[in-house]
Structure 1
Amino acid sequence: MKECSTYLFEDDGSIPNNPNLPLLVYLDALDPGQRGAETCKHLLEDNGWRNAWVNGIYSYHHYHSTTHEVLAVISGSAKVKMGGDKGEEISISEGDVIVIPAGVGHCRLSSSDDFQVVGAYPGGRSYDLCTGKKSERPQVLENIKNVPLPEQDPVTGEKEPLYKYWEN
């Protein structure tokens, strides 16, 4: 893993984001041998992140209030908007991994034709799909506060580097 960038987003009135846990972007975190769909799914599963799927990222702002999420880029590249309309535009490419705290909005702005990610959730937790509607509150705010920390980092299978940034 070359580097980890962190982003902490405030509630923008629509997307709640997470007041305590930053979004993590691990650049070039996957070795070339870990970038196949099945190999990547097994890596995440072995590290406690289950309920995996392979696809892209929705092209509208959304978030999950019941779980954290990992997105591992296995091919192509994309520009994503993280944190809602007022958030940050981030470029990601093959080998990068994004660890998204519960509540943090994400949206694909553009991507290459071959863009694919493997997504998974700590412990295989069930996820909801929220889009920032007023009717989602205040329940999602309570949900976000109650999501437990993952037992281990999705890439390393250890506490670090995740717990370096996500301490209680």
Structure 2
Amino acid sequence: MPDEIESLTAAPAGGVPNHPKWPALVVRSGAAPEDMGATFAANGWGGTWEWTVYDFHHYHPESHEVLGVSAGTATIALGGEDDRALEVTAGDVMILPAGFGHKRLAASEDFAVVGAYPPGQESPEIARADEGRVKEALGKIRAVPRPTCPLGRGIIEDRWTE
């Protein structure tokens, strides 16, 4: 994976807890679009699917998630109500720690992502933004360990420190 990596942090906002310690990571041209699923599997991530990103704020309180853009372009909101709008294109990879909010704002007709999760987290809960659940969700999020399976060249290990 190349060296252009963006780290994005976000405080709880609009019913989305976000991760209290670890940033979302965006790796530009992180993998060949046609090889996203194979790249994730080769690094131990499973529960792979290919589709899109939901058009509502959501997060996974007990799972980290990697999203690789396999086709097209999109504007993805990261973080919740005070979103950071992020333009992504085929080949880009987003690594989201547990609890980090995301939502599709706009997309080309051919937009698709491949998603995957660390071992033991392959069937994530999809939690919608909800102010009443943030405190409970933060307890779950803090309990999710850093993945033991890397995505290459220390991307997670160097940025998600204990």
Q: TM-score, normalised by structure 1?
A: 0.90
> Is 1:152–1:162's contact at 8 Å kept on the other side of the alignment?
no
Q: Give the CA RMSD over aligned residues.
A: 1.4
Equivalent residue in structure 2 for 1:147, among 144, 147, 158: 144
Matches within 5 A, 1:60-139: 60-125=56-121, 126-139=123-136
Structure 1 residues without counterparts, runs of 5 or longer = none
Q: Please identify runs of 4+ aligned residues in structure 1 that moved more than 6 A.
A: none
Structure 2 residues without counterparts, runs of 5 or longer = none
CA distance in 1, matches of 2:10, 2:29: 23
Aligned residue-pair number:
160
CA distance in 1, matches of 2:12, 2:82: 10
CA distance in 1, matches of 2:130, 2:90: 32
CA distance in 2, matches of 1:163, 1:94: 24
CA distance in 2, matches of 1:114, 1:13: 30
Residue aligned with 1:162, SS: coil
Aligned to 2:159: 165
Q: TM-score, normalised by structure 2?
A: 0.93
Aligned to 1:43: 39
